[in-house]
A and B are shown apart, each in its own frame.
Chain A
């Protein structure tokens, strides 16, 4: 898939994020939008998956460790055909499959329930180790927030991944620089992120996480890396694609109202027209 096609789907994912959180009157648009390009690349290009056979034993696995950005994951899954796009507005509604944080009990295709920060990366390590033990060649991907790196469990898991040489594991950090209470340096500085993962025996790749050329190259490099896990530190723009949400901490966990919804959708329609 070429970059323009990927951009198109990423923009559709962003629309779903806005539609879902607007309908829910809650949710986390900022960090969903920042990671939309990564979600899109993983589900349209990188991972060996079959939306019609979501429990295929040898599929690649994805764990959304930063579970609050479920709207982005749901957006890409709907785009990919795991479930009808018409279901996006049911986000966070009573009885919906689209729970506030991803639940494998509710929605087929979710490889792991998540939401409590720091836990997803451990589960991803277990999946990767499980592949190694059983001599299977599926790969495991997990997406973390940069604020999430403040959780100690992340580093327990990173130590395990490095020690056990889980080269079938790719940890992606969505480095949008913002968490609920402010910039990640105002709250509790996790920088330097790349050097930390290096110290835990990861192969580290720094990229612009909203640039498909760089995303593509990073995942290719990760695939070629043997004997150690890979960490992709993806510098991104929180709220990417929606003018008034970009780099604005106030859009971490707040949904757009009706008026803001109209503006956001116009922004995304315009981007869509530019893509063609």
Chain B
């Protein structure tokens, strides 16, 4: 995929906030001293009066966002996924989730593609943590196009939303004609032998893997699931019935994220052999993002190998 355009979804996030600011005059953006990294600095530069720097105090930031929302504003609270969902978990649960306030959490630097910073900053649990909160919409866009659309969809939706963005540049998968809807997955490639349900940067990996598998006569159906909650059960079940084998692929712990959500759905409604590709219940480590994705078998080659092994069983 050498010629494919690559953009980090955190960049898409910052630009989407800026580009939507005119259309959504109630939009305000909060950060916790990371606006350069989360790219909310792009918004701050254009709309300084609508940007609130809370300092290095993520728990406080979530409460401030809750308070702002009760006055009619639509706050996007931004920091790294580790701090948004880990450090401030209880604030998100009790001050945003429980009162079901119209707060959006834009969390960047999720997953091992954070790279050199290492395990302390590589959040592999955020989707699981957010998915447990009643009423919380949880999204993990695959590319630049979907990230921008997810931000707009979150603004149109009334209620708490968590969106996960990445640090590393990832291939642009979708064209401008892509139709995005909260809670709806998309079949990106039809197949008959195995279903691959992916999100985030693993969508590009899954598509690459499907090409390799096709060359060996294995027909993989690739489904993009940006919204982990509410999950598009119908789409996943229909595909599982067709192929009889399901693989999930995500840059997250195999516990509780997309793999967990799909496992819950299938085991209850349509028991199907399942293999979860992800970080296998361990912490990450330092290294360049590309090398780590390779090491943890989340790149195209790694996803391909794991699907092939599972299908052969």
| Docked complex: A144-199 residues within 8 A CB-CB of B | 152-153, 156-157, 159-160, 163-164
CB of B63 within 8 A of CB of A134, answer no
Contact B68 A160 (CB under 8 A): no
The number of residues on chain B lying at the interface, defined by a beta carbon within 8 Å of a beta carbon of chain A, is: 30
A119-153 contacts to B (CB < 8 Å)? 119-131, 133-134, 136, 152-153
B52 A119 Cβ-Cβ under 8 A = no
Q: Is the CB of B72 within 8 A of A130?
A: yes
Which residues of chain B are within 8 angstroms of A61 by Cβ–Cβ distance? Answer: 70
Chain B residue with Cβ nearest A113: B99
Is B98 a contact partner of A103 (Cβ separation < 8 A)? yes
Residues of B108-157 whose CB lies within 8 A of A? none
Q: How far is the CB of A250 from chain B (nearest CB, A)?
A: 28
**Complex contact A122–B62 (CB within 8 A):** yes
Interface size bucket, A side? 35 or more
B43: min CB distance to chain A, Å: 14
Which residue in chain A gives the minimum CB-CB distance to B90? A116
Q: Are A111 and B70 in contact (CB under 8 A)?
A: yes
Q: Shortest distance in angstroms between B255's beta carbon and chain A's nearest beta carbon?
A: 26
Contact A112 B99 (CB under 8 A): yes
B60–A103 CB distance below 8 A: no
Identify which of A57, A112, A122 contacts B91 (C-beta below 8 A): A122
B57 touching A156 by the CB < 8 A rule? yes
A105 contacts which chain B residues (CB < 8 A)? Answer: 98-100
Q: Write the nearest CB–CB distance from A83 to chain B, whole angstroms.
A: 19
B60 touches A160 (CB 8 A): yes
> Is A115 part of the binding interface, using a Cβ–Cβ cutoff of 8 Å?
yes
When the two chains form their complex, are residues B72 and A113 in contact, meaning their CB atoms are under 8 A apart?
Answer: no
Specify which chain B residues have a CB less than 8 angstroms from the CB of A159 in the assembled complex.
55, 57
Q: Which residues on the B side are within 8 Å of A127 (C-beta)?
A: 67-68, 70-71
Identify which of residues 266-283 in chain B touch chain A, using a CB-to-CB cut-off of 8 Å.
none
Which listed residue, A111, A113, A121, touches B98 by the CB 8 Å rule? A113
The reply on A52 being an interface residue by CB < 8 A is no
Residue of B nearest to A163 (CB): B55
Closest to B52 in A: A129
Asked if B49 lies at the interface with its beta carbon under 8 angstroms from chain A, I say: yes
Task: Determine whether A104 belongs to the interface, using a CB cutoff of 8 Å to chain B.
Answer: yes
Task: Please report the C-alpha to C-alpha distance between residue A26 and residue B221 in the assembled complex, in whole angstroms.
Answer: 57
Closest to A152 in B: B59
* CB-based nearest B residue for A134: B71
How far is it, in angstroms, between the C-alpha of A156 and the C-alpha of B94 when the chains are bound?
Answer: 17
Instruction: Give every chain B residue within 8 A of A134 (Cβ-Cβ).
Output: 71-73
Task: Tell me how far the C-beta of A171 lies from the nearest C-beta in chain B, rounded to whole angstroms.
Answer: 13
**Closest-CB distance, A249 to chain B (whole angstroms):** 26
What 0/1 readout, one digit per residue, does chain B (41-63) give for beta carbons within 8 Å of chain A? 00000000110101101011111
Q: Is the CB of B60 within 8 A of A153?
A: yes
Interface centre among B28, B50, B57, B69 (most CB of A within 10 A): B57
Considering the complex, give the chain A residue whose CB is closest to the CB of B100: A105
Among residues of B, the one whose C-beta sits closest to the C-beta of A124 is B67
A157:B52 contact, CB within 8 angstroms? no
Task: List B contacts of A157 (CB < 8 A).
Answer: 60, 63-64
Is A125 within 8 A of B64, CB to CB?
yes
Determine the chain B residues whose CB is within 8 A of the CB of A126 once the complex forms: 63-71, 75
On chain B, the residues within 8 Å of A160 by CB distance are 54-55, 57, 60, 64
B67's nearest neighbour on chain A, judged by CB, is A126
* Cβ–Cβ contact B57 & A119, under 8 A: no
How far does the alpha carbon of A120 sit from the alpha carbon of B99 in the complex, in Å?
A: 12
Is B306 positioned at the interface, with any CB of A under 8 Å from its CB?
Answer: no
B192 part of interface (Cβ distance < 8 Å): no
Q: Which residues of B contact A115 (CB under 8 A)?
A: 94
CB of B308, distance to nearest CB on chain A (Å): 48
For A152, the chain B residues whose CB sits under 8 A away are 59
Known A-B contacts A103-B99, A122-B67; A133 and B50 likewise in contact (beta carbons under 8 Å): yes
**Are B73 and A130 neighbours in the complex by a CB distance under 8 Å?**
yes
Q: Which of B57, B67, B70 has the most CB of A within 10 A?
A: B67
In the complex formed, the residue of A with least CB distance to B56 is A156
Question: A130, A134, A152: which has the most chain B beta carbons within 10 Å?
Answer: A130
Q: Nearest chain-B residue to A63 (Cβ)?
A: B67
Chain A's closest residue to B98 (CB) is A113
**Which of A120, A131, A134, A156 has the largest number of chain B CB atoms within 10 A?**
A156
Proximity string of chain B (86-106) to chain A, C-beta cutoff 8 Å, 1 when within and 0 when not: 000011001100111000000
Q: How far is the CB of B160 from chain A (nearest CB, A)?
A: 13
Q: Are B63 and A119 in contact (CB under 8 A)?
A: yes
- Assembled-state Cα–Cα distance A10/B79 (Å): 44
As a 0/1 sequence over residues 227 to 271 of chain B, the CB contacts with chain A under 8 angstroms (1 = contact) are: 000000000000000000000000000000000000000000000
Chain A residue contacts of B72, Cβ below 8 A: 57, 130, 134
Residues on A close to B: CB < 8 A? 57, 61, 63, 103-105, 111-113, 115-116, 118-131, 133-134, 136, 152-153, 156-157, 159-160, 163-164
List 6 A-B pairs, Cβ < 8 Å.
Answer: A112-B66, A116-B94, A119-B90, A126-B69, A156-B60, A160-B64
Closest 6 CB pairs of A and B: A126-B67, A122-B63, A130-B71, A156-B60, A126-B64, A156-B57
